[in-house]
Structure 1
């Protein structure tokens, strides 16, 4: 057993603090990302634009939000792989994705001394998906407002 594993098994708080440090960084990056995506959306969005343009703006924003989740999950996977907790970046990334999305497949797992990291990854996924959903609700409100205005113009 390595010194790090002995430390973690003896003091699970250390494991949680490491997880919370990464969680904080992930949430910071996600927060900056959603603000940039929403700012880009609001600058490009206009009810006066053609429907194809509005759909393109919405599609780019939606894809950007999905891409943001892939970036922040990689921020979890890289240290797990780099530290040797899970050999292979693909397996480390799969482990993170199954925890972040709360898939719960458990086909890839961490050593017992580090198993508390999985729930911390799940917490970050819940926060980030909730945040993304709130941004998406705002965007869809703008879409609905534009659609209703267009229908009113067509009927008058």
Structure 2
């Protein structure tokens, strides 16, 4: 008997999709806030030749994006802990962080039945980090526009 029935199973798909959608909703909300608040402020500060203040705001936006990623890692850990997939919340946070960032420690692995969640966590992180990168690029375009 092959292990396919253990890897692609209904509960893992449902939990994975729910966590991915919640995480990407957090990411989308954060992106909207950063683009609404920070982009205009950075643009205004640069046009007023307040470059140091603009850089500080840029770094503040990076910290906001970091908090979004940490929240998403925590969300994933709750999706591992509360259904009883993992019994230790600390280990759940470490596994979620390791997998979401695609570092993937060898010692961190879920039972065969739940390993699809690790793939979904990694995809969530890839999507979210790519989105954050595009936002940081858009902000840096405002930051360095007048400095040429």
The question of a shared fold, defined as TM-score above 0.5 by the shorter chain, is answered with yes
SS class of match (1:147)? coil
Contact conserved, 1:73 with 1:93, CA < 8 A, in 2?
A: yes
Partner of 2:137: 137
Q: Which runs of 5+ in 1 are unaligned?
A: 1-7, 149-156
CA distance in 1 between partners of 2:8 and 2:57 (Å): 49
1:14 to 1:82, Cα distance in 2 relative to 1, 3 A: closer
- Superposed CA deviations along residues 36-59 of structure 1, whole A, max 9, x for unmatched, are 112111232221142221111111
Q: Report the Cα offset of residue 144 of structure 1.
A: 1.4
Q: Give the alignment's Cα RMSD to 1 decimal.
A: 1.8
Misfit runs of 4+, over 3 Å: 8-11
Q: Report the Cα offset of residue 10 of structure 1.
A: 9.1
1:49 to 1:78, Cα distance in 2 relative to 1, 3 A: farther
Give TM-score, length-normalised by structure 2: 0.87
SS class of match (1:126)? helix
What is the correspondence of 1:1-156 to structure 2 with a 5 Å cutoff?
9=6, 12-45=9-42, 46=44, 47=46, 48-148=48-148
Aligned length: 141
CA distance in 2 between partners of 1:73 and 1:49 (Å): 38
Q: Report the Cα offset of residue 11 of structure 1.
A: 6.5
CA distance in 2 between partners of 1:62 and 1:10 (Å): 36
1:92 to 1:56, Cα distance in 2 relative to 1, 3 A: same
Q: Report the Cα offset of residue 83 of structure 1.
A: 2.4
Q: Which runs of 5+ in 2 are unaligned?
A: none
Give TM-score, length-normalised by structure 1: 0.83
CA distance in 2 between partners of 1:10 and 1:130 (Å): 27
